[in-house]
Amino acid sequence: MSETTKPTATSSEARNGFFINNGTFSGHFTTPDGHAYAIRKLEPREVTDPRTGEVATIWGGYATARERDVAAKDAMLQTDFKRTGQRPAELFVPEARDIPLYITLRNQPGKGYTDIGSFWNSTGRYTILARDLGGKNGLRFGGDVLPYKSSEVLEAERAAKAATEHPAGPDGAAAHATLAKPKPGKRRTPEA
């Protein structure tokens, strides 16, 4: 008899990777929903920021779902977008230029990643955090695909986290004062 394992948060996080081969710049990724996509070819493009005049290299390319039913829904989304040009208002700001099924990686280094990207399909919008591996282990990029969160949602999560870490009020002040007191037997000033 074989045992079935239930997917856990760690196993689902391991499944939603983003991989681009170094030689062909093709690859694949899996969304947090479990849908696998193939990337035909990621190509570098130089773009100029109209506000600052700074030239930056972005990587972009189309992705195709490996499952037929998901690919059919994505094709309907793409056809509708070509006809109307409308993006979901809850996922995009009015001046957004994202195209459905198109991955865009911009060099924006952060904690643990070198590039941040976006992708949207018939299911929703995703954020890609990728590291430029420069050919290490045959990969150009490797990273994670995460559900998209608006800046308002991220700010609310940060505020909630800060509130739980540093509670306000008399209990929080007492906890802070307790932490600030020196422990018995320890000196605050170094000896000369």
H-only helix segments in the chain: 9-15, 68-84, 151-165, 170-180
**Do the domain assignments include residue 25?**
yes
In whole angstroms, what is the distance from residue 143 CA to residue 17 CA?
6
CA distances, 58 to each of 64, 105, 138, 140 (Å)? 20, 6, 20, 14
Mean pLDDT per 10-residue section of the chain, whose length is 192 residues? 40 63 89 91 87 88 94 92 86 81 88 88 90 86 87 81 70 53 56 52
| Residue 52 resides in a domain | yes
What pLDDT, on a 0 to 100 scale, did the predictor assign at position 4? 39
Placement of tokens 């992705």 in the chain: 63
Sign of the CA dihedral with 18 first, then 40, 7, and 74 last: positive
Residue 162 domain-assigned?
no
48 within a domain of the structure (yes/no): yes
DSSP 121: -
The three-state secondary structure class of 39 is: strand
Range of the domain at 40: 9-149
- Count: domains in the chain: 1
d(CA 55, CA 70): 36
pLDDT of residue 13: 41
Q: Is 156 within a domain? A: no
Asked whether residue 118 is assigned to any structural domain, the reply reads yes
- In this structure, is residue 3 part of a structural domain? no
The pLDDT value recorded for residue 181 is 56
- pLDDT tens profile 1-55: 444 334 444 443 445 688 888 888 899 999 998 999 999 888 988 988 888 888 8
How are beta strands 113-120 and 125-132 bridged, if at all?
antiparallel
Residue whose C-alpha is closest to residue 28's, from 20, 70, 73, 115: 20
Phi, psi torsion values for 39, nearest 5 degrees: -105, 120
Residue 163 lies in a domain: no
